Amino acid sequence: MISVSEALDLIKTHTDQLAGVKIPLRSSFGCFLAEELVAPISLPSFRQSAMDGYAFRFGEISELEVIGECKAGDAVDFEIQTNQAVRIFTGARVPDQADTVVMQEHVEVNGKKISILQLPEKSTNVREVGEQIHAGDQVLPAGTKINESIIGFLASFGIIEVLVFNKPKITLIVTGNELQEAGSPLKPGCIYESNAIMLESALKSRGFDSVRILKVQDELEATKKVIAEGLEDDMLLISGGISVGDYDFVNAALQANGVQEIFYKVNQKPGKPLWFGKREKTLVFALPGNPASSLTCFLIYAFSALKIMSGNPDIALNFQTGVLKHRTYNKFGKTLFILGTEKNGELEIYPKQASSMLISYALGNALVMIPEQREELEAGESVQFLPINRN
Ligand code: AMP
Ligand code: MG
């Protein structure tokens, strides 16, 4: 059975980023740039006043005649003599012959004349062409994650479309005869289905919005059919039916659909029966149905692949180091993922840890990883954890 790090390596080896696609800037939040962006224009693209005041030619004369007005959006220019000024407002074009703007608070107005009470230094309050960035300069490197600031910055160049890596389309198949939709009292022997909504939320909160959910009973032909449908997308996530019971049909149905197995089973708890494979462009993760196993396998493995597919250059899991508050055991010889709460670097581990339980996941903010070779860890020992459930 392969280890956690071997499984992650295999996922990296078999996962490629999706092609670049031009999308509206408006829809690009959270996407990764597929090309370097170069400034199409200088910013500012003309000399602008940074103040409401008077534009003039810097010199000795402090009594100036106001010969016109230039407000934001005006395209006019003025011939200005050394004893003249133009009334100007923030963002307006500074006349070519003016080099300085005095703010209106620093002048006294007498009809068509002004007296400068406080002479600014030469060039004050004039935003020069390209002061922020020059046309042709690099704006952002490829691989940059687009956020709201970047969207605003790109909009200021008049950019309306960006080339980004495509986001994967995902089908999520939920298997199990016992699963019942919420909305009616539980039938005997049934449980409320919870993995679909949980994994859908995990996907959407990470910016993967294209999620289709399909449900199937534990039946071979139906499972084959639904998998064939799901293989149209970039990633297929399957919940349940991948263990070795007589009614677990996912493995057989994947093989029948020609999906190549890359690994099956990882030396970890929870989530041992994780299956990873590929058919053409589609990656398939068959996640064990136990809810804590499903979520753990999603957070560690499927999310790593999704990051690569969407062009995220930062594919390492965001493990941090914390210190155990209590002695902790790992009797299994497997990598153990357990839930706890991290506060100021100290990790308190919850008592209820089982693949069938979500209680500790729901309460915790840290997914703690205990190495497979460590049987007993003392209080105060350092361990790695993945921050979870935080925004
Ligand atoms: P399986 O992996 O199909 O053998 O399922 C393992 C355990 O997880 C069983 O107890 C199932 O009832 C439970 N389980 C499977 N799928 C789901 C689901 N979608 N929601 C909640 N529990 C599930
Ligand atoms: Mg099942």
Q: Three-state SS string across 322-370, please?
A: EEECCCEECCCCCEEEEEEEEECCEEEECCCCCCCCCHHHHHCCEEEEE
pLDDT in tens, 147-195: 999 999 999 999 999 999 999 999 999 999 999 999 999 999 999 999 9
Confidence grade of residue 238 (pLDDT, cut at 50, 70, 90): very high
Q: What does the buried/exposed string (b/e) look like for 314-328 if buried means 16 or more CB atoms within 10 Å of the residue's CB? A: ebebeeeebebbeeb
Cα gap 330→374, rounded to integer Å: 6
Cα gap 356→271, rounded to integer Å: 10
Q: Amino acid identity of 165?
A: F
- Any residues with Cβ below 6 Å from ligand 1, and which? 174, 176, 178-179, 191, 193-195, 239-241, 243, 248, 288-291, 356
Cα gap 142→341, rounded to integer Å: 37
**Distance, CA 241 to ligand 2 centroid (Å)?**
4
| Cα angle for residues 91, 95, 99 (degrees, 5° grid) | 90
Average pLDDT, the chain: 97
Which among 244, 235, 279, 280 is positioned nearest to 265, based on CA atoms?
244
Cα gap 239→173, rounded to integer Å: 6
Q: What is the pLDDT of residue 224?
A: 98
pLDDT in tens, 73-100: 999 999 999 999 999 999 999 999 999 9
* pTM confidence score: 0.94
Integer-rounded Cα radius of gyration of the chain: 31
**Largest pairwise CA distance in the chain:** 97
Whether residue 270 is preceded by a cis peptide bond, meaning omega within 30 degrees of 0, is: yes
Instruction: Specify the residue with its C-alpha closest to ligand 1, atom 8.
Output: 290
Report the share of the chain in percent with pLDDT over 90: 99
Residues less than 5 Å from ion ligand 2, measured at CB: 176, 240-241, 289
Cα gap 283→280, rounded to integer Å: 8
The tokens for 375 are 């049987």
**H helices present in the chain, as ranges:** 4-14, 148-155, 195-205, 220-230, 250-256, 291-297, 303-309, 359-363
Confidence grade of residue 230 (pLDDT, cut at 50, 70, 90): very high
Between the alpha carbon of residue 292 and those of residues 52, 201, 270, 297, the distances in Å are 61, 15, 7, 9
Cα gap 163→217, rounded to integer Å: 41
Cα gap 292→305, rounded to integer Å: 19
Q: What is the pLDDT of residue 323?
A: 98
CA dihedral 48, 51, 52, 58 (to 10 degrees): -80
* Ligand whose nearest atom lies closest to the CA of 213: 1
Mean pLDDT of 300-324: 97
**Distance, CA 145 to ligand 1 centroid (Å)?**
36
Q: CB 158: neighbour CB atoms within 10 A?
A: 9
Confidence grade of residue 38 (pLDDT, cut at 50, 70, 90): very high
Between the alpha carbon of residue 369 and those of residues 34, 98, 204, 364, the distances in Å are 34, 66, 25, 14
Straight-line distance from the first to the last Cα atom of the chain, in angstroms, rounded to the nearest whole number:
35
**Distance, CA 123 to ligand 1 centroid (Å)?**
71
3-class DSSP string for 78-135: CCCCCCEEEEECCCCECCCCCCEEEEHHHEEEECCEEEECCCCCCCCCEECCCCCECC
The tokens for 230 are 């799901």
The tokens for 322 are 């914390």
Confidence grade of residue 305 (pLDDT, cut at 50, 70, 90): very high
The tokens for 275 are 């299956």
Is residue 26 over pLDDT 90? yes
**Distance, CA 178 to ligand 1 centroid (Å)?**
8
Mean pLDDT of 292-315: 97
Ligand 1 pocket mutation, candidates 172, 180, 195, criterion most atoms within 8 A of CB? 195
Report the share of the chain in percent with pLDDT over 70: 100
Contact of 279 with 260, CB cutoff 8 Å: yes
**H helices present in 156-214, as ranges:** 195-205
Contact of 289 with 173, CB cutoff 8 Å: no
Contact of 338 with 348, CB cutoff 8 Å: no
Is residue 391 over pLDDT 90? no
Contact of 1 with 265, CB cutoff 8 Å: yes
Strand bridging mode 48-49 / 126-127: antiparallel
